[in-house]
Structure 1
Amino acid sequence: MSTLTLEATRLTADPARLQARLETFAALSEPGSGPGVTRLAYTPLEREAHAVFADEMRSLGLTVWTDAAGNTIAERGGTVPGLPALGTGSHLDSVPNAGAYDGIAGVVAAMETARLYDQHDVAHAHPVRFIAFAAEEGARFGQACTGSRIVAGLTGPEDLAAKRDAHGTTMADALRAVGFSPEEVAEARWQPEEWAAFVELHIEQGSVLESTGTPIGVVDLISGSTRVLLEVAGRASHTGGTPMHLRADAMAAAAEIVLLIESVANDSRHHGTRATVGRMDATPGSITTIAGKVELYVDVRDVDSDRQRLTAAEIVERAQALCVRRGVRLTAHTLADASPVILPGWLRESVAGTCRRLGVDYRVLPSGASHDAQMVNRVVPTGMVFVPSRDGISHSPVEWTGADELALGTDVLASALLALDRLLAPTRGQDDCHRDHHHGDRKETGA
């Protein structure tokens, strides 16, 4: 391979090729599931999407494998033996009735970066790994970022049987159903010495970039998330035969809890807190029967770790008092919990420096959503590049990012990885202390 420098040639992504890949993945959706894309974690459709990714990476001559957690990894070799890897990628699963961009934009940007390196015969000292993570969305099992949590050592075999979907299927059984052994997922864990840096491209899922006319976001902080299941148990009874004052109506109590949660997140003590009830399931679910049981799925997000957990605890405490007043019972279960993460400053500055060299305007901003980058930052210094989201909408069929906007983000990603390759490459025998310095920065600023 010949050496390509950033000063010599700018790698320019092809918007049409990116759009075509997005449409290929968008076509892989559950039949009859309604508008948008439905491709849930650890399903045959998710595996089919991973196979599309793997096939293209193999066509470029990359070494491809799938780990025990279902993450698919493609490696392009480096010119210096024994160096740790640089990495990029995102996920291919979706929430129900999603758009075509969340996660997938980062995967197609990784695929395009690999193609650009091949097309321009780019040489890099470190190996570069392009990754499609499994099971990033928490829509099916309540826990987000499962594939990346496993590689970061945050989820192990013992955790998988406790996570269930709406049909009662455990995550362990879901893994078995698509050909993986849940007992072996710990084998997928990454070792810090095997990694130099990781950069994830993602749509913003907010409106800051679009509203300010800024094409690129460089992320400094990723919000944490605490997810809680609240079970309200009342007494099912006939809607016509039961007087209002004799009811133990689980639905009425649940409705008041929803408004309580909104009120908590909106008060002056919680500036920056976001709290949502995204799903409610009522039993028996009949128009002529007072609800005897309601399940509420609550998501509390914050950039402040203590406030995040205290808010979740306050919601449970106040909901408990509300239920006592209404004569119903409340049970709370924590489904998942992830801390906010401050991304390493030196890596963020390296990505920002790439934007400046390319003459691309950028803005440093936090992420309100969770990402695989949040988890792998436990193992490897990690950065994130955002591209705009139209109207700030995500997790919706109308989610949209322009192909030209994604192409510019891919230009930044491809060049940023090469800049990191030069920054972290060994020189004059000083490579060990240089890498130790940066890994020390990661340890100080991680979750």
Structure 2
Amino acid sequence: MWAELLPVGRSASSGGYRRFAWNSADAEARAWFREQALKRGLTYELDRNGNQWAWLGDPAAGDAVVTGSHLDSVPDGGAFDGPLGVVSSFAALDELRARGAEFTKPLAIVNFGDEEGARFGVACIGSRLTAGVLSPKAAFELRDADGVRLPDAMEKAGYDPAAIGADTERLGRIGAFVELHVEQGRYLTAEQPVGVASAIWPHGRWRFDFHGEANHAGTTWIEDRRDPMLTFADTVLTARQRAQLAGSLATFGKVAVEPNGTNAIASLIRGWLDSRAADEETLHRVVEEIHAAAVARGEQDGVKVELTRESYTPVVDFDGPLRDRLAARLGGAPVLPTGAGHDAGILASAVPTAMLFVRNPSGVSHSPAEHAELADCLRGVEALADVLEDLACR
């Protein structure tokens, strides 16, 4: 399975992946998921929000155990973030069948759409729509960098955007959701390559708009300039400083410049801030400090600064009894928090949810260098099979 999926959406120049929502690589990955489901005699289903489901047993029976993750990527992302969870889910089902496990509850494997938010700027769109966290109205207003609206992209890919929205009936069928994911850090060890998530740090994305004045780079005196690049650059440095002092995280990883000419002073710079912290109070304080510093520097540079919060996820504490049950079933696996958002975190408000992590020896993620050892991945499959057996077969 891993070898079949590995080439899909891979860039020959960077070695990373460009599986973005509703593009051709996404379609190929979705076709792969459907093929894996049908190959195993599972009932394949596409929900109203474009998420893919593969069912063993009757979904209407309720109290289903669901596992899975996502297949999309960040720009030039790694091979493991998302796909490892989906591949491991099918492999865990194969392992349970090899064990002769007798299922007493329905089991489903899911591929949530647009988890990374690489195209439309909002993470976990598929699960957010399902959980009612993102409204259809707000989703319809999302556009990609080329100005293409989300519903138009869905329609072009052959899906009906008019159907999107909260799916409470589907969520009501789920008794537990367990997502396996490659670790995005270096907590786990070779001796303990599989861990259990305790919580997800609160996190969000904010867009800073720096409005200056376009002008000629070769003829405009320094004192006559209203250059938003200066304000933006100072804000990037301020974000690093304030986050470090607070023990939090703040990253400007995306920027758009207008008119984006080598010999032109910019008129507008948009910079997207990703910020995360162990608690919500710290997160809000850090973002407020960054904004205040940007406004102050903008006044000095003759630049107007506007701030828009594009997405936000509060702290997520995974279901305590389910978390403890998983850790015990895995022989006292380490329990650790994460600063990364996941579909499991979105669903946690609606259904009992847990996560397993598989060791990443380098700690690198969202990069072609992202890696997990084969032996650790196989341990992850075994751990997921043990957990699913405990939840769905007894």
Corresponding residue for residue 36 of structure 2:
56
Answer whether contact 1:343 1:383 (CA < 8 A) is retained.
yes
Q: Distance in 2 between matches of 1:412 and 1:206?
A: 20
Q: How many residues align?
A: 394
Question: Are 1:223 and 2:194 counterparts?
Answer: no
Corresponding residue for residue 336 of structure 2:
365
Amino acid at match of 1:398: A
Corresponding residue for residue 384 of structure 1:
355
- Structure 2 SS opposite 1:148: helix
Residue 24 of structure 1, CA deviation: 2.0
Residue 224 of structure 1, CA deviation: 2.1
Answer whether contact 2:96 2:389 (CA < 8 A) is retained.
no
Q: Distance in 1 between matches of 2:62 and 2:141?
A: 38
Normalising to structure 1: TM-score of the pair? 0.84
User: Which of residues 281, 299, 309 in structure 1 aligns to 2:256?
Assistant: 281
Residue 311 of structure 1, CA deviation: 2.5
Answer whether contact 1:350 1:419 (CA < 8 A) is retained.
no
Q: Distance in 1 between matches of 2:347 and 2:149?
A: 24
Name whichever of 409-418 and 311-320 sits farther off: 311-320
User: Which of residues 106, 110, 127 in structure 1 aligns to 2:85?
Assistant: 106
Residue 322 of structure 1, CA deviation: 1.5
Amino acid at match of 2:217: T
Answer whether contact 1:226 1:312 (CA < 8 A) is retained.
no
Residue 292 of structure 1, CA deviation: 1.8
Correspondence list, 1:21-420, <5 A: 21-29=1-9, 34-77=14-57, 82-186=61-165, 188-210=167-189, 213-267=191-245, 270-271=246-247, 273-356=248-331, 362-420=333-391
Residue 81 of structure 1, CA deviation: 8.4
Answer whether contact 2:185 2:363 (CA < 8 A) is retained.
yes
Q: Distance in 2 between matches of 1:213 and 1:235?
A: 57
- Structure 2 SS opposite 1:350: helix
Q: Distance in 1 between matches of 2:192 and 2:389?
A: 23
Percent identity between the two aligned chains? 33
In structure 2, do the counterparts of structure 1 residues 52 and 164 end up closer, same or farther at CA, with 3 Å as the change threshold?
Answer: same
Alpha-carbon displacement from aligned partner over 1:24-45 (angstroms, at most 9, x marks no partner)? 2221116666421111122232
In structure 2, do the counterparts of structure 1 residues 312 and 352 end up closer, same or farther at CA, with 3 Å as the change threshold?
Answer: same
Amino acid at match of 1:68: R
Q: Distance in 1 between matches of 2:252 and 2:243?
A: 12
Name whichever of 117-126 and 157-166 sits farther off: 117-126
In structure 2, do the counterparts of structure 1 residues 264 and 160 end up closer, same or farther at CA, with 3 Å as the change threshold?
Answer: same
Across the aligned residues of Structure 1 and Structure 2, the Cα RMSD in angstroms comes to 1.9
In structure 2, do the counterparts of structure 1 residues 411 and 234 end up closer, same or farther at CA, with 3 Å as the change threshold?
Answer: same
Amino acid at match of 2:65: L
- Structure 2 SS opposite 1:392: coil
In structure 2, do the counterparts of structure 1 residues 23 and 99 end up closer, same or farther at CA, with 3 Å as the change threshold?
Answer: farther
Residue 251 of structure 1, CA deviation: 0.9
In structure 2, do the counterparts of structure 1 residues 184 and 57 end up closer, same or farther at CA, with 3 Å as the change threshold?
Answer: same
Gaps spanning 5+ residues in structure 1: where?
1-20, 426-447
Alpha-carbon displacement from aligned partner over 1:224-243 (angstroms, at most 9, x marks no partner)? 22111111111111222111
Amino acid at match of 1:294: I
In structure 2, do the counterparts of structure 1 residues 393 and 30 end up closer, same or farther at CA, with 3 Å as the change threshold?
Answer: closer
Q: Distance in 2 between matches of 1:390 and 1:275?
A: 24
Q: Distance in 2 between matches of 1:100 and 1:397?
A: 7
- Structure 2 SS opposite 1:117: helix
Answer whether contact 1:239 1:289 (CA < 8 A) is retained.
yes
Alpha-carbon displacement from aligned partner over 1:32-78 (angstroms, at most 9, x marks no partner)? 66421111122232122122111111111111111121111011117
Answer whether contact 1:205 1:392 (CA < 8 A) is retained.
yes
Q: Distance in 2 between matches of 1:58 and 1:145?
A: 26
Answer whether contact 1:23 1:100 (CA < 8 A) is retained.
no
Answer whether contact 1:22 1:101 (CA < 8 A) is retained.
no
Q: Distance in 2 between matches of 1:74 and 1:230?
A: 41
Q: Distance in 1 between matches of 2:352 and 2:368?
A: 33
Q: Distance in 1 between matches of 2:31 and 2:131?
A: 23
Normalising to structure 2: TM-score of the pair? 0.95
Q: Distance in 2 between matches of 1:41 and 1:223?
A: 25
Q: Distance in 2 between matches of 1:259 and 1:81?
A: 53
Residue 187 of structure 1, CA deviation: 6.0
Answer whether contact 2:16 2:79 (CA < 8 A) is retained.
yes
Residue 118 of structure 1, CA deviation: 3.1
Q: Distance in 1 between matches of 2:312 and 2:101?
A: 41
Answer whether contact 1:152 1:190 (CA < 8 A) is retained.
no
Answer whether contact 2:322 2:353 (CA < 8 A) is retained.
yes
Residue 158 of structure 1, CA deviation: 0.9
Q: Distance in 2 between matches of 1:49 and 1:189?
A: 26
Answer whether contact 1:221 1:303 (CA < 8 A) is retained.
no
